[in-house]
Structure 1
Amino acid sequence: MSDAASDDADYSLPDDLPAVRDALISWYEADHRQFPWRETDDPYEILVSEVMSQQTQLGRVVEAWEAFLDRWPTPQLLADADRADVVGFWTDHSLGYNNRAKYLHEAAEQVVEEYDGEFPESPEELQNLMGVGPYTANAVASFAFNNGDAVVDTNVKRVLHRAFDVPDDDALFEEAASEAMPEGQSRVWNNAIMELGGVACEQSPKCDSAGCPWREWCHAYETGDFTAPDVPTQPSFEGSRRQFRGKVVSILKEYDELPLSKLGPRVRVDYAPGGEYGREWLEGLLSDLADDGLVDVEERDGDTRARLRQ
């Protein structure tokens, strides 16, 4: 085993790390799932795919990604777009939290206004863009510029935990992932290790049928213990506040503005002003959307009215 990991770490990577790396990259390059964002190194296109892919099945993302880029193919065109249209697109394609659309629009404005239309290339600089956290910044740096660090997502954690017995600890996962990645190959490596977790080392592993390239080094394959790190359960979208926030946005996109008395029944058929899903509940949704910069709510003519923020 390698001594490159810290002395107090409860794991170590294989001694023949170059062979481990070569095996994974060869496996990935021989055959992998085809996603259109894997065929580009355009940072804008990759950023859109990364933001859309957050908690959304990749199969559904493909259609939305292509439609989004067909409508707004450059950061300039997205920056020039009406934010309500961008948020409406997000809602129409069921892409989850609408504030991601808002942040993506704001990030495009930053690229145009602060970076003269050219994306920053390092993970640190990319985090200056609105809504771009460490994971997304690193993914864009890796896949667009081959300039990233080792990506650590749920799939990567599961692979490292099983293959090399890395404890369920975020700091150790970061350390092991960084040690495993060959220098200067973040683009292919991060794609490859996420692919491994996505098609071979799933919750129910497919070691042999998927031809896992790490079977000869894998602790789980040797012991038969395929325990994986705990993964937080994603709350159901159906009936959630997130779903109804999306409905509010869709409705307000159709109308210039609406009083709450007319908005409520369009959001829920069982809306009753004094009921469980009534005015207080609706005001809570609107407050969330206002905090996200998506709607404006004002008192006028003795009524509370809501509209999408322009």
Structure 2
Amino acid sequence: MSDTAADSAWRLPDDREAVRAALIEWYEDDHRDYPWRRTDDPYEILVSEVMSQQTQLDRVVAAWEEFLERWPTTADLAAADRADVVGFWTDHSLGYNNRAKYLHEAARQVESEYGGDFPETPDELQELMGVGPYTANAVASFAFNNGDAVVDTNVKRVLYRAFDVPDDDEAFEEAAQELMPEGRSRVWNNAIMELGGVACEQTPKCDGAGCPWREWCDAYASGDFTAPDVPTQPSFEGSRRQFRGRVIGTLREYDELELDALGHRIRVDYAPDGEYGREWLEGLLSDLEDDGLVETDERDEDDEFVARLRR
């Protein structure tokens, strides 16, 4: 444990069973009814987790349903053209396009390396392309009910306010794991994230949302609802992420495009020798090439570079 965590005075309530029971009862009585909460299919849950990394949950629902209608199984997704999967991602503004590439590759791994059956533990799930510790644990929890305690921004805010857990990753991990009832990661992780999402928001709604932890909560007792610092999401408008998506969307309409033709189609202020010109565009395309999403080559007859989607 870090010095910060070791030196802190935080401790969880003695009547831990009552704390657990109160939260689970609150969650089961009434919670947001997202469709991925009604399934234990690991593929469907993985899709929801990847989509929700940069997109508000209410916007994810339609995209998730359309995605699964088009590619209902890992076998269907593995057999798909990667450009189609990336194009879907772009069309639905689901964040970085390399996540679509990783999801496609993960489906191929499940089919080729696991015979179509998902691995079930957090460690095994991290072997899938693009699946980090948080996503692996979420899939293990919600699909197989054998995950560890999820610690996201919402959970940190709840623990910080309710039990005075310091703003320290090790302390959050320790407290979250100690609180979670053994063998109940599916309902528990859903419940504590729901608490942070609808009751213990940045502006808390303790009474309005009927927070089940008011009798134990330090912040509720003191009126001090300070929360841990949370990095702000960079603006999408004008970002490299936005123009990466525009490149993918534009190249889907053409077999290939010369660089200047592509540049003029993705931004109105493109000028070959300007601030947003060839050098800027080549950097963007280089990133997309590294992600395996596009390819560029030089035409011998006119020394002109062209770009196309990688198939």
TM-score range, shorter chain: over 0.9
Q: Deviations over 1:61-106 (max 9, x none)?
A: 0000000000000000000000000000000000000000000000
Identity of aligned residues (%): 80
- Distance in structure 1 (CA, Å) of the matches to 2:152 and 2:295: 36
- State how 1:197-276 maps to structure 2 within 5 Å: 197-276=196-275
Name the structure 1 match of 2:118. Answer: 119
Identify which range, 117-126 or 6-15, moves more after superposition. 6-15
- Distance in structure 2 (CA, Å) of the matches to 1:69 and 1:300: 39
Q: TM-score, normalised by structure 2?
A: 0.97
Residue 286 of structure 1 aligns to a residue whose secondary structure is: helix
CA contact (8 A) 1:182 1:189 kept: yes
Residue 204 of structure 2 aligns to a residue whose secondary structure is: coil
Name the structure 2 match of 1:3. Answer: none
By how many angstroms is 1:10 displaced?
2.9
Name the structure 1 match of 2:170. Answer: 171
By how many angstroms is 1:9 displaced?
4.6
- Distance in structure 2 (CA, Å) of the matches to 1:303 and 1:91: 27
Q: Deviations over 1:243-278 (max 9, x none)?
A: 000000001111111110211100111110001111
Q: Deviations over 1:152-173 (max 9, x none)?
A: 0000000000000000000000
Q: What letter matches 1:44 in structure 2? A: Y
CA contact (8 A) 1:296 1:308 kept: yes
- Distance in structure 1 (CA, Å) of the matches to 2:203 and 2:178: 26
Name the structure 1 match of 2:306. Answer: 305
Residue 252 of structure 2 aligns to a residue whose secondary structure is: helix
Q: What letter matches 2:275 in structure 1? A: E
- State how 1:3-152 maps to structure 2 within 5 Å: 8-152=7-151
Is 1:284 equivalent to 2:290 in the alignment? no
Name the structure 1 match of 2:194. Answer: 195
CA contact (8 A) 1:41 1:144 kept: yes
Q: TM-score, normalised by structure 1?
A: 0.97
Q: Deviations over 1:136-185 (max 9, x none)?
A: 00000000000100000000000000000000000000000000000000
In structure 2, the gaps of 5 or more residues are none
How many equivalent residue pairs?
305
In structure 1, the gaps of 5 or more residues are 1-5
- Distance in structure 2 (CA, Å) of the matches to 1:269 and 1:164: 52
